[in-house]
Amino acid sequence: MNYELTSHNSFAALLDAAVDSIIVSDSTGIMLVVNPAATKLFGYQKKEIMGKNIKMLMPEKDNLHHDGYMKNYLETGQRKIIGLGRETTGVKKDHSVFPMYLSVGHIKNSDGDNFVGIIHDLTTRQQQQRQLEQHEIEIRKLQEKLAHVARISTLGEMVTGIAHEINQPLTAISTYAQGSIRMLNSKAADTTELLAAQQKITGQAERAAQVIGKIRNFAKKTNIKHQPQNCNALISEVASLAEVHAKELGVTLQLQLSEHPDLLVMVDGIQVQQVALNLINNAIESMTNAQDQKQVIIRTTKLDENTAEISVHDNGEGLAEALEEQMFDAFFTTKSAGLGMGLAICQSIIASHQGIIRFRRNPDKGCTFSFTLPTAVGITL
Ligand SMILES: Nc1ncnc2c1ncn2[C@@H]1O[C@H](COP(=O)(O)OP(=O)(O)O)[C@@H](O)[C@H]1O
Ligand SMILES: [Mg+2]
């Protein structure tokens, strides 16, 4: 179709039909044409704004510069907004400020210079954007909560081992303390022996405190924060926590750390430890009924400049091929006391780190789970 705006009527019809606001002003900013969409948007009657300065529709900060912009453009042709478009704000009759996209064109005719402004209201778009952002924040909070609940539940599953791990130093402390009392009661108390007993007590108390410290750190409620972390340190620490569960089931853990001691990953440390602990615990549990040596190998590797990989290898019973596809589904479990949330949470945590979690059947026995993480390239601690 070809519209030729030759007659005044078709120009008026176009202005009336336009969804966006159209305002024509002269070079001093006096409004000469205002279409219905504009009066509606700004909340004025046509007669209230016709012949007034366009500055009344702008917030004070723009309004102060407006004359300068126009003058400057007309004198120098320098464009700040004229001939271009930009997001800015407008002011309605009720003084409320709203976001808008403004494009301004220069009309040169026999009467002099006029300007046409086309205004697109961005209120709805901005609201939608805010809602979307709010939604994303809520999802992140939910993921944080879910991950936290899962960590507590993992610790719950490990509680017997943990109790054992703490009970050992407590028993030792009690034994050394009783020995010290006996020595003190007998007349011939030997200070060297007493000192040795006190040192043993201190050492054991520190050991118990370390176990509690690790558990407290792991059980903490934290906001997700991605920062450079030493990959080997993260995994060694979590392996020592898993040791508790391993010992209980007669499994040995073997750590094979990357030869890059400064391998840094850009991650939320606790969440990554949570993934590793889940995989290690699953590996340990897969060997409950195994006859031969029960061993889990935990490996950290630098795949390339941008990627690190952590893998957990077991020689357990594996899983029936038909069930492999469901492994990462929420609530899928083959254990009588399993919750089936472990791998589902691992997957969501790794996805939020732009990583990939994979499962592979070992050629001989058992399986290997691995996940990738982004390295903190160029960032040094
Ligand atoms: N290392 C593994 N070896 C064999 N099967 C595994 C291994 N890891 C996970 N699975 C299977 O995947 C299922 C889901 O694991 P997970 O989501 O951690 O839940 P849960 O440990 O509570 O069962 C397990 O019940 C098990 O059948
Ligand atoms: Mg599990």
Domain of 113, CATH number, reads 3.30.450.20
Domain annotation covers residue 14:
yes
Q: How many CA atoms lie within 13 A of 318 on its CB side?
A: 15
237 and 379 housed in the same domain: yes
Q: Is the pLDDT of residue 5 over 50?
A: no
Range of the domain at 20: 8-121
Counting atoms of ligand 1 from 1, which one is nearest the CA of 318?
Answer: 4
Higher pLDDT among residues 285 and 75, named by residue: 285
Domain annotation covers residue 36:
yes
- Angle at alpha carbon of residue 288, lines to 284 and 290, rounded to 5°: 105
Paired residues of 119 in beta bridges:
21, 102
349 and 237 housed in the same domain: yes
Domain annotation covers residue 198:
no
For CA atoms 226, 227, 228, 234, the dihedral sign is negative
Mean of pLDDT values over 274-299: 93
- The structure tokens listed for 287 are 């060997």
pLDDT attached to residue 178: 96
Lowest average pLDDT, out of 189-193, 201-205, 331-335, 358-362, goes to 189-193
pLDDT attached to residue 62: 77
Domain annotation covers residue 199:
no
Most confident of 68-77, 81-90, 272-281: 272-281
pLDDT attached to residue 63: 73
For the chain, give the percent of residues with pLDDT over 90: 62
CB of 318 within 6 A of ligand 1: the answer is yes
Mean of pLDDT values over 350-360: 94
Mean of pLDDT values over 90-97: 95
Domain annotation covers residue 352:
yes
Residue nearest to atom 24 of ligand 1 (CA): 333
Most confident of 29-38, 149-158, 287-296: 29-38
pLDDT attached to residue 381: 44
Mean of pLDDT values over 111-122: 90
Residue nearest to atom 18 of ligand 1 (CA): 342
237 and 97 housed in the same domain: no
Residue nearest to atom 12 of ligand 1 (CA): 327
Mean of pLDDT values over 301-321: 95
Mean of pLDDT values over 86-104: 93
Query: Helix, strand, coil proportions of the chain in percent (round to 5)?
Result: 50, 25, 30
pLDDT attached to residue 346: 95
349 and 229 housed in the same domain: yes
Higher pLDDT among residues 8 and 294, named by residue: 294
Domain boundary among 121, 153, 187: 121
pLDDT attached to residue 123: 94
Q: Determine if residue 354 is left, alpha or beta; phi over 0 gives left, psi from -120 to 50 gives alpha, anything else beta.
A: left
* From 289, 331, 343, mutation site for ligand 1 pocket: most ligand atoms within 8 A of C-beta: 343
Q: Is the pLDDT of residue 70 over 80?
A: no
pLDDT tens digits along 10-34: 778 888 888 999 999 998 899 999 9
A 10 A CB-CB count for 201 gives 19
CB of 88 within 6 A of ligand 1: the answer is no
Mean of pLDDT values over 124-129: 93
Domain annotation covers residue 301:
yes
CB of 338 within 6 A of ligand 1: the answer is yes
Average pLDDT, the chain: 89
Query: What is the C-alpha to C-alpha distance for residues 338 and 71, in angstroms, rounded to an integer?
Result: 75
232 and 349 housed in the same domain: yes
Counting atoms of ligand 1 from 1, which one is nearest the CA of 286?
Answer: 3
A 10 A CB-CB count for 6 gives 8
- CA–centroid distance, 327 to ligand 1, in Å, is 7
Inter-helix orientation angle 191-219/123-157, to 10°: 140
- CA–centroid distance, 320 to ligand 1, in Å, is 11
Most confident of 77-81, 217-221, 358-362: 358-362
Confidence of residue 56 (pLDDT cuts 50, 70, 90): very high
Exposure letters 19-36 (e unless 16+ CB within 10 A, then b)? ebbbbbbbeebebeebbe
Q: What is the CATH number of the domain that holds 355?
A: 3.30.565.10
Counting atoms of ligand 1 from 1, which one is nearest the CA of 369?
Answer: 1
CB of 281 within 6 A of ligand 1: the answer is no
- CA–centroid distance, 286 to ligand 1, in Å, is 8
pLDDT attached to residue 378: 52
Q: Is the pLDDT of residue 254 over 80?
A: yes
The secondary element (H helix, E strand) that includes residue 136 is helix 123-157
CB of 103 within 6 A of ligand 1: the answer is no
E strands within the chain?
21-26, 31-34, 85-91, 97-109, 112-121, 227-230, 252-256, 264-267, 295-304, 307-314, 357-361, 367-374
* Domain count for the chain: 2
Q: Is the pLDDT of residue 143 over 90?
A: no
Q: Is the pLDDT of residue 2 over 50?
A: no
Mean of pLDDT values over 358-374: 95
- CA–centroid distance, 137 to ligand 2, in Å, is 27
CB of 326 within 6 A of ligand 1: the answer is no
pLDDT tens digits along 335-348: 988 889 899 999 99
DSSP assignment string, 208-265: HHHHHHHHHHHH-------EEEEHHHHHHHHHHHHHHHHHHTT-EEEEE--S-TT-EE
Domain annotation covers residue 71:
yes
Domain annotation covers residue 292:
yes
Higher pLDDT among residues 70 and 158, named by residue: 158
- CA–centroid distance, 340 to ligand 1, in Å, is 7
Domain boundary among 100, 121, 142: 121
